[in-house]
């Protein structure tokens, strides 16, 4: 089927296009959503449920409805908000086993179609929450912003742990075992990145300001996270004795997280140029993202594997916790490194183990 036939024959059409940050002001760019709405309006036939899966600011459903009505005044339709909560690299399992499905509409027939569509998940007892459309739109931003708050909170706790001699991993466990807090998204690291949290937290603050109801916690999280990504290079420089001028650094992991080649807002994009600006030569390896990284990062020597990246380097810096980096042969790493300095920005290795092996080891928020 081409798009036209697909739309004509459909009971429900899903809009799942991206909503990147608009250049200049950080609002979500809705041009792709609106273009899709127009195309759907031109071809829809019979009662059609138009489902917005894209992450869109509150009120976008009203706009989509308006565009469809203007383009095709005779169309019979309902616009539904059905945000997606899939993670990159885990989308299929997240889709099959979601924590919940959120459906925002006050149209009874649309609700029934959505219920029917998600019936296989219903059988798995996935909760399906029916809400007003605007509420559903806000739930998506609130969820991403809350997760960003959790990460940023534990990152600041990690900094505090370093000052007071506490262990952030145990703090995470100690608070996460409280069901009211929950243990997920409490891993301290170099700051969150990716195509969602940075864009969505920013867009939420913009919407909130536009409505005269600022979300100050999220505002602060955006700032703290930006500053954190930048501060990571200083942490590396400190671990290397205060200067990296003329030194070589072997970086493991470039993508914003493992199991993706996505480099959008990846912490590596702040860390590597700052190290280069301080006079370091950077060698790097990532199992998936080197092709993408090569388009954005200048002057990096991309390597064939982790051992190649650390060969002859003055330090190894782990930025993304790919599984293959968890099981490195550290005797080999030690032989290859010029000096045994390891900076682990994801707390993958055990400090006592690394010390025993004779590494000068720095991680995040652990003694």
Q: How far apart are CA 61 and CA 287, in angstroms?
A: 39
Q: Please report whether residue 285 would count as binding ligand UGA according to CB under 6 A.
A: no
CA atoms within 13 A on the CB side of 203: 25
Q: What tokens does 36 get?
A: 């899709």
Q: Rank residues 57 and 193 by Cβ distance to ligand UGA and give the closer one.
A: 193
* Rounded least distance, CB 1 to ligand UGA, Å: 27
CA atoms within 13 A on the CB side of 133: 24
Q: Rank residues 86 and 224 by Cβ distance to ligand UGA and give the closer one.
A: 86
DSSP code of residue 16: -
* Rounded least distance, CB 86 to ligand UGA, Å: 5
Residue with tokens 């650390």, as numbered in its chain: 310
- Segment 41-70, which members bind ligand UGA (CB under 6 A)? 55
The total of other beta-carbon atoms located within 10 Å of residue 158's CB is: 24
Of the ranges 96-104, 185-193, 236-244, 292-300, which one interacts with ligand UGA (CB under 6 A)? Answer: 185-193
Q: Rank residues 105 and 155 by Cβ distance to ligand UGA and give the closer one.
A: 155
* Rounded least distance, CB 170 to ligand UGA, Å: 15
Q: Rank residues 17 and 278 by Cβ distance to ligand UGA and give the closer one.
A: 17
> Beta strands of the chain (E only): which ranges?
12-15, 48-52, 77-81, 101-104, 128-131, 248-252, 281-285, 301-302, 315-318, 341-344, 360-362
Choice among 44, 151, 196, 275 that is catalytic: 196
* Annotated catalytic residue 303: no
Closest to 141 measured CA to CA, from 224, 192, 202: 202
* Rounded least distance, CB 151 to ligand UGA, Å: 4
- Segment 72-111, which members bind ligand UGA (CB under 6 A)? 84-88
Q: Please report whether residue 14 would count as binding ligand UGA according to CB under 6 A.
A: no
Q: How far apart are CA 25 and CA 20, in angstroms?
A: 11
Q: Let me know the angle formed at the C-alpha of 31 by 105 and 203, rounded to the nearest 5 degrees.
A: 70
Q: Rank residues 107 and 259 by Cβ distance to ligand UGA and give the closer one.
A: 259
* Rounded least distance, CB 141 to ligand UGA, Å: 9
Q: Rank residues 185 and 302 by Cβ distance to ligand UGA and give the closer one.
A: 185
Q: How far apart are CA 135 and CA 82, in angstroms?
A: 11
Q: What tokens does 313 get?
A: 């380097």
Contact (CB, 8 A) for 50 and 69? no
Closest to 253 measured CA to CA, from 297, 222, 221: 297
Q: Please report whether residue 196 would count as binding ligand UGA according to CB under 6 A.
A: yes
String of contacts with ligand UGA for each residue 249-268, x by CB under 6 A: -------xx-----------
**Three-class secondary structure of residue 353 per DSSP:** helix
Residue nearest ligand UGA, CB atom distance = 196
* Rounded least distance, CB 190 to ligand UGA, Å: 7
Q: Please report whether residue 228 would count as binding ligand UGA according to CB under 6 A.
A: no
Q: Rank residues 77 and 349 by Cβ distance to ligand UGA and give the closer one.
A: 349
* Rounded least distance, CB 69 to ligand UGA, Å: 28
- DSSP letter string over 88-99? TT-HHHHHHS-S
Helix (H) or strand (E) holding 51: strand 48-52
Sequence-distant (6+) residues with CB within 8 A of 32 are: 17, 18, 19, 54
Taking CB under 6 A as the criterion, the residue among 47, 122, 130, 185 binding ligand UGA is: 185
| Residue count, binding to ligand UGA (CB under 6 A) | 20
Q: What tokens does 164 get?
A: 């007071």
Q: Rank residues 149 and 151 by Cβ distance to ligand UGA and give the closer one.
A: 151
Contact (CB, 8 A) for 40 and 67? no
Query: What is the tally of helices (H) and strands (E) in the chain?
Result: 16, 11
Q: Which residues are catalytic?
A: 196
- Residues of this chain that interact with ligand UGA (CB under 6 A) are 55, 84-88, 144, 147, 151, 185-187, 189, 192-194, 196-197, 256-257
């Amino acid at each position: 089927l081409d798009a036209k036939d697909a739309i004509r024959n459909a009971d429900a059409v899903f809009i799942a296009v991206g909503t990147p940050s608009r250049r200049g002001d950080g609002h979500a760019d809705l041009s792709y959503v609106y273009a899709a709405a127009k195309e759907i309006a031109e071809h829809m036939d019979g009662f059609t449920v138009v489902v917005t899966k894209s992450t869109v600011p509150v009120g976008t459903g009203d706009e989509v409805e308006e565009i469809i009505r203007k383009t095709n005044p005779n169309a019979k339709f309902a616009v539904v908000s059905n945000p997606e909560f899939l993670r990159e690299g885990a989308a299929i399992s997240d889709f099959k086993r979601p924590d919940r499905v959120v459906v925002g509409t006050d149209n009874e027939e649309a609700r029934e179609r959505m219920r029917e569509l998600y019936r296989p998940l219903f059988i798995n007892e996935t909760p399906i929450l029916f809400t007003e459309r605007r509420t559903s739109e806000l739930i998506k931003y609130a969820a991403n912003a809350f997760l960003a708050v959790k990460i940023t909170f534990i990152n600041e706790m990690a900094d505090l742990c370093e000052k007071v001699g506490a262990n952030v991993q145990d703090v995470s466990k100690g608070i996460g075992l409280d069901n009211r807090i929950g243990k997920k998204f409490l891993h301290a690291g170099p700051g969150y990145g990716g195509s969602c949290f940075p864009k969505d937290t920013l867009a939420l603050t913009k919407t909130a300001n536009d409505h005269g109801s600022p979300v100050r916690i999220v505002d602060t999280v955006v700032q703290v996270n930006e500053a954190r990504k930048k501060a990571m290079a200083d942490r590396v420089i400190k671990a290397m004795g205060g200067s990296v001028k003329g030194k070589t650094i072997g970086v493991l992991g470039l993508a914003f997280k493992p199991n993706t080649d996505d480099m959008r807002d990846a912490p590596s994009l702040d860390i590597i140029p700052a190290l280069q600006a301080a006079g370091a030569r950077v060698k790097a390896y990532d199992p998936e993202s080197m092709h993408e990284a090569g388009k954005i990062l200048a002057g990096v020597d991309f390597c064939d594997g982790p051992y190649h990246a650390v060969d002859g380097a003055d330090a190894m810096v782990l930025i993304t916790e790919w599984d293959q980096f968890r099981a490195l042969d550290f005797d080999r790493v030690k032989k290859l490194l010029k000096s045994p300095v390891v900076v682990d920005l994801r707390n993958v290795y055990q400090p006592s183990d690394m010390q025993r092996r004779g590494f000068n080891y720095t991680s995040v928020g652990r003694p």
